Amino acid sequence: EVQLVESGGGLIQPGGSLRLSCAASGFTVSSNYMNWVRQAPGKGLEWVLLVYGDHITNFADSVQGRFTISRDNSRNTLYLQMNSLRAEDTAVYFCASGERWLSNWGQGTLVTVSS
């Protein structure tokens, strides 16, 4: 059974950094398309990025240059490094697998950017 578990969210001041984790089981992160999607409180879904292996990463304009992605194959875990955080980055962040459709989702982790 495929399972994704996000962690690392919390309260952070504007301009700060945070690293989210997405731990996978039941499949191999490094050989699958992975996404991050976020949802601001009471709002809709916003796609953040798509990554596949070491070669393909696409970012939303809203996070380009501030967010980066990395992976620990030994832990089968994807990391989202978020820098220069802004109030508008406040959201629940989900990781999800899939290339053109998002088949499996984690439960999400809440990031709150506030002073």
Residue 102 binding another protein, by CB under 8 A: yes
Please, are residues 40 and 22 in contact by the beta-carbon 8 Å criterion?
Answer: no
Q: Which amino acid is at 56?
A: I
Please, are residues 109 and 6 in contact by the beta-carbon 8 Å criterion?
Answer: yes
To the nearest whole angstrom, how small is the minimum distance from the Cβ of residue 105 to another protein? 4
Radius of gyration of the chain (CA): 13
Q: Which of residues 14-73 bind another protein (CB under 8 A)?
A: 35, 37, 44-47, 50, 58, 60-61
Q: Which is nearer to another protein, 50 or 91 (CB)?
A: 50
To the nearest whole angstrom, how small is the minimum distance from the Cβ of residue 95 to another protein? 10
Q: Which amino acid is at 112?
A: T
Give the bridge partners for 18, in sequence order: 82
Among 108, 109, 111, 113, binds another protein (CB under 8 A): 108
